[in-house]
Structures are given as structure tokens and as C-alpha cells.
Amino acid sequence: MDRKIRVGIVFGGRSAEHEVSLQSAKNVIGAIDRSKYEPVLIGIDRSGKWFLDNASLPMLDSDDPRAIRLNSLEDAITIAPGDRHGELVSLDDGGKGDSIDVLFPVLHGPYGEDGSVQGLARLANLPCVGAGILGSAIGMDKDVAKRLLHAGGIAVAQFEVFHSVEQAHLKMEKAAERLGLPLFVKPANMGSSVGVSKVSSLDAMGRAIEEALEYDTKIVLEEAVVGREIECSVLGNNEPVASVPGEIVLHGGFYSYDAKYIDENGATLSIPAALEPDTVRRVQETATRAFEILECRGMARVDMFLREDGEVLVNEINTIPGFTKISMFPKLWEASGIPYAELIDRLIQLAIEDFEAASRLKTVR
């Protein structure tokens, strides 16, 4: 019998989405096909150190999304390129340990979804699930992503961008006049609605800007679009396909961090969304086109607005979407006929396929 493919599942990390990552990883680890894959569990603590723990699921309070945390781990490691696989190297004595065949980053936000880990995988000569360096970096940056989508003919909300060095000269009145109130204030490079505020006054805008600048040196001010919140999952490399669309029906406020990952009653996921066939087609076409424009690979969740007049706007793209029990990405694929375990299998195979294609390219003259 052939050796099982060893999948390094990486989770935790330094970002503000640490707990979300742990919840997502718990589900991925539980769903992976053990007859085909051997998971190698790699936890990253809040300081950025990597640890190996294959004895047990290295999480405490794993049933509580607010309290979930990494267990105390001791085997600090890094990843280095090997002859055929990535090698896990001990930081304590420099010895080589387990090898892995594929890296599966279940990381959200900076230091995981932004191209950082994807670059490490490339240096370690490892297939990596999801988008590569470029697609990850683009998808993470709301400013760059919106500009590229707009250039590609995809409608996006009106927005303005400011850097921290411009804070003293930021004309909030002019921004509010152009974008209208209420509006959203967002860190440019953060996900899961972390640091995001919906504001209805200049005073609130000032406070929201201060909060957003705690997470990024670049912020996005964005019009509050009136419309239905539609999400669509995308799967594939050169020929991406879209899932059935789903709709977020909020029970108050906006789709906050708690509504996404903690409060199961914060929002209702309507799957499939109640849309006319022509609208479903346009949503799916917009999702796959956005996926291609932003250089994505493997997977993504595309978040959109559907205006009353039928216009579809792309809000943002998530290149490592949530895999928690209330996350839209796996639920949409399940509704489209791909159960969780098969979805994980496809993602791994897409990573291997992309890696093998890239490996055939010349690197020297």
C-alpha cells in the first residue's frame, strides 16, 4: 500500500484571528480522510513560534469559541526544504524530525493569509493549499483588491484609503460627504471584521479610525452599501467553479466577528440564497471572475452585495475562508454536493496539482 500523504496542518498564529484559526483547524483535522492522509499538527503561538504536537489535538477549551486556546507545547520547530519533502527541524537541537508532503495553512489574517506562510512553503519546496504568494497578498489588502477588481470591470463600493502618516491631515468631513453616513472604517489588511466599525457621525468616525489603526497602518473608508449580503465559494485552479450562493441575514448591526464565529444566533445563513436563476448565474460568474482577477488558486469565499436594482458588487475575497462549524465556505459546498471530507481532499489535490505544474518550470537558464 502506498504511503499516506503527510499533511502539515498549520493553525493559530500571531494575528487577531488566532481563535478563529483554532476553531477552523479543529474541524479540518476532524474531517480529513485518515485512510488517505496523515495529518501533522503544527500550532503557532501568539508570539509566532511553531510547535509540533502529534500526540493529541493541542487545544484547550475547544468547545468554547471564546476560550479556545493552544495547549502548552514544547517541541519548537521550523520548516526547511528536504530532498523530496519539507523537513521539520527542531529549534532545540537542530535535528530533523518528521517530513511533510503538503502544507495546509488554516490561518486567518496577517502572518498566514497574506502570503507569509505561502512564501515559506515555496522556499521549503512544498505544495501549499490555497492561493500562492501573490494571490494571498492581494486578497488580504482591501485597497489593492478593490482597485484591481474595479480595473477588471467588477463593481465595488465607493471607498477612500488613508495611511497612518496622513492621519493629522485626514479630512473626515470631506470623506463623509463623498461616501455618505453611515460608512465603514476598516483596517486594510485584516479579516473577520476585526477592527471594523460602522459609524454614523464624525466623532464616531474619529474613534473608529483610531481603532482601525491599531491593526494596520493603512485604513479603508467605505460607503455602507444598501443591499443583500451574498456569499459564494470558489474552488479550483485554472478552471474555478462556484458553489450555490448563500445569504447572510443579520439579526442586528453588521456581520461582526461575534456574528461570524461566536454567536450562533448573530446571523442566519440562508443556503441556498433565495435568488432568481439569472441572479444566481451572475453571482457565480462574478465570484469566479473576481477569483481570477485577484490571482487566486485553490479556494476562496467571495463576499458580495446585491442591490435592489440587481447590481452585484464585490465586497472582499477571503483566500483562507473560515472552516468553523458555522462558516459559510464549507456549508456552501456541502449544499452544492461536496461534503466536508471530500472538500478537504479536493483542496489538497489542487495544491499538489498546482505545485507539480510550477515544478516543471525552468528556474535556471
**Calpha distance 112→320 (Å, rounded):** 9
Note every long-range contact of 68-71, with CB atoms under 8 Å and residues 24 or more positions apart, other chains counting. 68/19, 68/22, 68/23, 68/26, 69/19, 69/22, 70/12, 70/22, 70/43, 70/45, 71/43
Whether 347 maps to a domain, the answer reads yes
Provide the CATH number for the domain around residue 206.
3.30.1490.20
**Calpha distance 8→88 (Å, rounded):** 10
**Calpha distance 314→293 (Å, rounded):** 12
Name residues of the chain where pLDDT drops below 50: 1, 261
Q: Are residues 348 and 231 in the same domain?
A: yes
Q: Are 42 and 50 in contact (CB under 8 A)?
A: yes
Nearest partner of 73 among 28, 42, 108, judged by Cα: 42
Domain that holds residue 58: 5-128
Q: Are residues 143 and 18 in the same domain?
A: no
Main-chain dihedrals φ then ψ at residue 289, nearest 5 degrees: -65, -40
Main-chain dihedrals φ then ψ at residue 40, nearest 5 degrees: -115, 115
pLDDT value, residue 364: 84
Q: Residue-wise over 271-296: b if at least 16 C-beta within 10 A, else e?
A: bebebeeebbebbbebbbbbbbbbbb
Whether 205 maps to a domain, the answer reads yes
**Calpha distance 123→150 (Å, rounded):** 32
Q: Are residues 166 and 147 in the same domain?
A: no
pLDDT value, residue 68: 79
**Domain end among 171, 202, 223:** 223
Provide the CATH number for the domain around residue 234.
3.30.470.20
Whether 105 maps to a domain, the answer reads yes
Whether 364 maps to a domain, the answer reads no
**Calpha distance 146→22 (Å, rounded):** 29
Ordered DSSP codes for 52-105: E--SS--EESTT-TTT-EEPP---EEEEEE-SSSEEEEETTT--EEEEESEEEE
Q: Are residues 236 and 219 in the same domain?
A: no
Q: What are 270's three cell numbers?
A: 440562508
Q: Are residues 196 and 330 in the same domain?
A: no
**Calpha distance 252→233 (Å, rounded):** 24
End-to-end CA distance of the chain: 39
**Calpha distance 73→45 (Å, rounded):** 9
The identity of residue 354, as a single letter, is: D
How many domains is the chain partitioned into structurally?
Answer: 3
Whether 362 maps to a domain, the answer reads no
Beta strands (DSSP E) in 109-259 are: 159-163, 183-187, 197-199, 218-223, 228-236, 241-242, 246-250
Provide the CATH number for the domain around residue 79.
3.40.50.20
Whether 14 maps to a domain, the answer reads yes
pLDDT value, residue 83: 74
**Calpha distance 29→24 (Å, rounded):** 9
Q: Are residues 236 and 213 in the same domain?
A: no
Q: Are residues 53 and 170 in the same domain?
A: no
Whether 336 maps to a domain, the answer reads yes
Q: Are residues 204 and 238 in the same domain?
A: no
Beta strands (DSSP E) in 86-217 are: 86-90, 96-100, 102-106, 159-163, 183-187, 197-199
Q: Are residues 289 and 200 in the same domain?
A: no
Q: Are residues 59 and 164 in the same domain?
A: no
**Domain end among 188, 223, 258:** 223
Q: Are residues 290 and 202 in the same domain?
A: no
Q: What are 50's three cell numbers?
A: 511553531
**Calpha distance 188→140 (Å, rounded):** 8
Q: Residue 207: CB partners within 8 Å, gap ≥ 6? A: 197, 199
pLDDT value, residue 348: 98
Angle between helices 340-359 and 18-31 (to 10 degrees): 100
Q: Are residues 168 and 315 in the same domain?
A: no
pLDDT value, residue 54: 61
pLDDT value, residue 192: 66
Whether 275 maps to a domain, the answer reads yes
What Rg, from alpha-carbon coordinates, does the chain have? 20
Nearest partner of 170 among 160, 183, 182, judged by Cα: 160
CA atoms within 13 A on the CB side of 207: 7
**Domain end among 109, 128, 147:** 128
